[in-house]
């Protein structure tokens, strides 16, 4: 049983000309920047911009009323930009940035990398975003992974982050040395993303849109387009089929995989232990990092509304932060903290942490008590 809080280092996705998917869909990518060069006049540094929140708690969550005394110990080391998930017996399923999956024992000892990874993983960039075990792993040994695939004909020298995030399934062999029955379930089109299994067994998938220095947000409207999977939360069944109750099934011109839309760069996903709803963390541009409580069929606004500015320092859509029909983040940070993975605490060692949301970020770890 997990008795404390375990955190693995997480690297940000470098965001990335037109590439072609396996389904021959043209999915745009920005042109590559010269190595070591930054667009003139652009920066990710804070510039004093302070957007007005819709309510006070949107930027100032309640401070925890009680602190806990704890010690930080190194449990496992020698990792390569890892994300983690727990197996039913308390061991850790570890996804490393270099495209390897390992199992970490209760003693912190690392297994050898599992053989049998997908052969088409993008080998010159970040390749493995995360891996999670099936809810019935103890019986079926199934796992799901989000990883990068370089489409045929894509040229990394000409395109920024030309790979697509894919979702696959596999089973861990009984001797725990390799993956078996590896299947590609979904080309999610985005420059990165994550996969998580919901309480009903379906898979929730984030798919990011092109973003970063040298990219103007309003030139990349895919998060608002129903014929694109970029900038979305997607939902599929564990076999890759489409759930019949997805919100846009049967809508003309809409991809049936779409569960919610209007996202920029969602990095973390967690299921609320009480409501069962999906929560996400999201990189804004220059400010406007968000925590969202995601509901089926809802539009979360980017790039029509948001609480950040482009890296040029210029407003996005006139600094518009609210619009009818578009959802507000539960919480946002400006200046940004560069959030990554998130988790709700459900352990027993620290009672005062029960239900608190932990947000890992390049600027540290954030703990928040959220009244939702």
Highest-scoring range by mean pLDDT, 7-11, 175-179, 210-214, 356-360: 175-179
Q: What is the mean pLDDT of residues 74-83?
A: 88
Q: How confident is the model at residue 24 (pLDDT cuts 50, 70, 90)?
A: very low
Q: What is the mean pLDDT of residues 306-323?
A: 96
Q: What is the pLDDT of residue 137?
A: 98
| Residue appearing with tokens 């029955």 | 181
> Is residue 6 over pLDDT 60?
no
* CA 175 – CA 283 distance, rounded (Å): 39
* Claim: this prediction has a pTM higher than 0.85: yes
| Residue appearing with tokens 């709803």 | 277
* CA 151 – CA 149 distance, rounded (Å): 6
> Is residue 3 over pLDDT 70?
no
> Is residue 203 over pLDDT 50?
yes
Domain boundaries of the chain, sorted by first residue = 18-368
* CA 242 – CA 259 distance, rounded (Å): 11
Query: Could you tell me the fold of the domain covering 18-368?
Result: Neuraminidase (2.120.10)
Q: What is the pLDDT of residue 323?
A: 98
DSSP 3-state of 205: strand
Beta carbons of 146 and 197 less than 8 angstroms apart: no
Q: By C-alpha distance, which of 184, 206, 47 is closest to 121?
A: 184
């Amino acid at each position: 049983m997990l008795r404390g809080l375990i955190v693995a280092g997480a690297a940000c996705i470098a965001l990335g000309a037109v590439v072609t998917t396996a389904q021959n869909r043209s999915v745009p990518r920005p042109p590559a920047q010269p190595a070591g060069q930054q667009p003139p006049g652009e920066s990710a540094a804070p510039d004093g911009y302070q957007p007005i929140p819709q309510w006070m708690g949107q930027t100032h969550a309640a401070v925890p009323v009680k602190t806990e005394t704890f010690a930080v110990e190194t449990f496992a080391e020698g990792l390569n930009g890892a994300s983690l998930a727990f197996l039913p017996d308390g061991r850790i399923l570890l996804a490393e940035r270099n495209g390897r999956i390992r199992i970490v024992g209760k003693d912190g000892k690392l297994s050898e990398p599992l053989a049998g990874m997908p052969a088409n993983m993008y080998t010159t960039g970040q390749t493995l975003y995360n891996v999670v075990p099936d809810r019935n792993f103890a019986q079926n040994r199934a796992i799901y992974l989000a990883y990068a695939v370089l489409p045929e004909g894509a040229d990394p020298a000409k395109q920024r982050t030309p790979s697509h995030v894919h979702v696959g399934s596999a089973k861990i062999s009984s001797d725990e040395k390799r993956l078996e029955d590896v299947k590609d379930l979904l080309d999610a089109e985005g420059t990165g993303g994550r996969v998580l299994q919901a309480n009903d067994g379906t898979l929730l998938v984030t798919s990011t849109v092109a973003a970063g220095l040298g990219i103007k947000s309003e030139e990349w409207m895919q998060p608002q387009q129903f014929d694109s999977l970029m900038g979305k939360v997607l939902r599929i069944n564990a076999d890759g089929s489409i759930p019949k109750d997805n919100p846009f099934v049967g809508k003309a011109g809409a991809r049936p995989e779409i569960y919610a839309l209007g996202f920029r760069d969602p990095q973390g996903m967690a299921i609320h232990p009480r409501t069962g709803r999906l929560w996400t963390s999201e990189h804004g541009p220059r400010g406007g990092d968000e925590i969202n409580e995601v509901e089926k069929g809802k539009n979360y606004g980017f790039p029509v509304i948001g609480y950040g500015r482009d890296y040029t320092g210029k407003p996005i859509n006139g600094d518009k932060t609210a619009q009818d029909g578009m959802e507000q983040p539960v919480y946002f940070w400006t200046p940004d903290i560069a959030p990554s993975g998130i988790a709700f605490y459900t352990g027993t060692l620290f009672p005062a942490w029960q239900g608190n949301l932990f947000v890992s970020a390049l600027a540290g770890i954030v703990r928040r008590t959220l009244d939702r």
